[in-house]
Chains A and B, each alone.
Chain A
Amino acid sequence: MEFIQNNWGWILLGFVIITIVLMYNSLIARKNMVENMFGSIDALLKQRYDMIPNLVASVREYMKHEREVLEEITKLRSAAINAKSDDEKIDIENRFENLLSKLMVNIENYPQLKANENFLKLQEALKDIEDRISAARRAYNQAVTDYNNAVEMFPANLIAKAFNFKRKKVFEIPESERENVNVGDLFRK
């Protein structure tokens, strides 16, 4: 007891330092989680972008009226592969996702396409990767929300400001996904 009374200043300082260290480490862990999740999502998006040339080749013959959409998808794919920053990748992916959903809806107007075996295989693979991307996107957004909360919450925001931790951007969840409908479902309609 006497020790505490004589050294309360040091004890308080020690407590503050430990709290700062814990908060800093927690911010770093959250930031790493965001990066880790972005790495996962990036790998999955790359897998999907690799499937796009095959998809376009399979449907081009049948979907002559959708030439503009197909060209736009091809352009966005190239842009996504060459994108430098994370924010740029997110923006492109948000646009790409909407365009792909639109294409999948339009496929309904081409019954011959649905009889094509190559296309069916591709559709299955695309559905699987879409599920994974959707889950990875939600995981990424949650990691970003956790990180952003920590960056803005008092007193962690003081540490965040001192060590230059900045807010991060989330992926937009496409309208179709909010309704719990994915590309696979659209194919089956």
Chain B
Amino acid sequence: MDLFLINQYRKKLLFIHFFYLFLAALMIIIFFMGWDKYLYIGFKDILNVIFSKNEEWAGWFLIVYAGLVIFFIFLAFKQKKIYDSEIRFELCKNILSNFGVECEKANNSFFDSNILEFYARDYDDIDYSRSHIIKSNHFFGQYFDINKEVETRDSDGNIQTHMENVFSGYIFKFKLEKNYDCNISIKKNSFHLSDILPITYDKSRIKLDNPNFEKKFDVYSENQINARIYLNQKRMENLLKLDNKNPLIILNDIAFYGISMEPIYLIAIPFYREIKEKEINEIKEFYDILEGIYEILK
């Protein structure tokens, strides 16, 4: 969609949003003015005139009146919801297209469930309402809200289940320049008892000769040699720039990396005013980060 048309649509939605908010606010003001005894004709007096012989009708009138106020507020914020789900995304898509990045809504996963397990272990459900894909020549990513069913016990001892979010963010795959013919998993560093008391030995754990990298990450692979070919000194130094919150997975010639965050279009694009240069730069920064990650991983 054209940027001008998107902005026109945003203005229209914003107008409707404020119109309904104005109606709701007006009704609330009239209601409270009505209770003010110092006014010439109070709201109560109007009610008395209309429903002087039937108090039940007066009660119903009040309920309908309150319902109308709530309905107007609902309609106002519905415009914002439409903006959040459609227009913000279209704006983001439009801006990203200037950098050669395609952006599309998605309602199914483009990633194997085994990959998703790395980022949301034992997950039960994927919510696709905010899901979309971002792709360029160097990367392919999808936004996921992944949930897990959690059981809780209430005060009476009854078991209740509810969905809990376990991962919200993008999962990206980057095509590497070379096939390393092995699987490598690079995770957040954790304590290993076997380092101080040799009672166990994990053959798949790879200790590397970069102390800073070792402090930040744990590396696992069944192929010690190929994993080390990939993790040379230069790449280890570069990988230190990446966050260790989510694992980095290498499967032969593809790298998978997860970034926990809100959808970029929700972060960068405002509703109440026109998009500024700063917000466009935020989207560009996001794209630059992805290109930077590709440069590190390739």
Query: Could you tell me which A residues sit within 8 Å of B by CB distance?
Result: 19, 22-23, 26-27, 29-30, 33, 37, 40, 131-132, 135-136, 138-139, 142-143, 145-146, 149-150, 153, 156, 180
Contacts and interface: CB of A to CB of B under 8 A. Distances in A.
Given A138-B228, A139-B225, A180-B232, A150 B209 contact: no
Contact of B228 (A26, A135, A145, A149): A135
Contacts of A180: 232-234
B224 A139 contact: yes
Interface string B219-261: 0000011101100111000000000000000000000000000
A155 to B, nearest CB: 8
B199 A40 contact: no
B283 to A, nearest CB: 36
Contacts of A22: 199-200
Contact of B198 (A138, A145, A156): A156
Interface residues of B, number: 20
Contacts of A138: 209, 228
21 contacts: A19-B199, A22-B199, A23-B199, A26-B200, A26-B201, A29-B203, A33-B201, A33-B203, A40-B224, A131-B229, A135-B226, A139-B206, A139-B225, A139-B228, A142-B208, A142-B209, A146-B201, A146-B207, A149-B198, A150-B198, A153-B198
Nearest to B205: A146
Contacts of B229: 131-132, 135
A122 to B, nearest CB: 20
B172 to A, nearest CB: 26
Contacts of B196: 153
A60 B209 CA distance: 38
Interface string B191-202: 000101111110
Contacts of B197: 153, 156
A26 B209 contact: no
Contact of A136 (B199, B225, B232, B233): B225
Given A142-B209, A180-B234, A37 B224 contact: yes
B197 to A, nearest CB: 8
A150 B77 CA distance: 65
The binding surface of chain A is classed by DSSP as helix
B141 to A, nearest CB: 30
A40 B229 CA distance: 14
A142 B227 CA distance: 13
A153 B224 CA distance: 24
Contacts of B208: 142
A156 B198 CA distance: 7
A139 to B, nearest CB: 4
Nearest to A135: B228
Contacts of B199: 19, 22-23, 26
Interface in B176-220: 194, 196-201, 203, 206-209
Contacts of A146: 201, 207
Interface in B106-126: none
Nearest to B228: A135
Point out which of B198, B206, B225 has the most chain A C-beta atoms below 10 A from its C-beta. B198
B169 to A, nearest CB: 32
Nearest to B196: A153
Contacts of A153: 196-198
Point out which of A131, A139, A142, A180 has the most chain B C-beta atoms below 10 A from its C-beta. A139
Nearest to B230: A135
A40 B182 CA distance: 15
Contacts of A131: 229
A136 B223 CA distance: 10
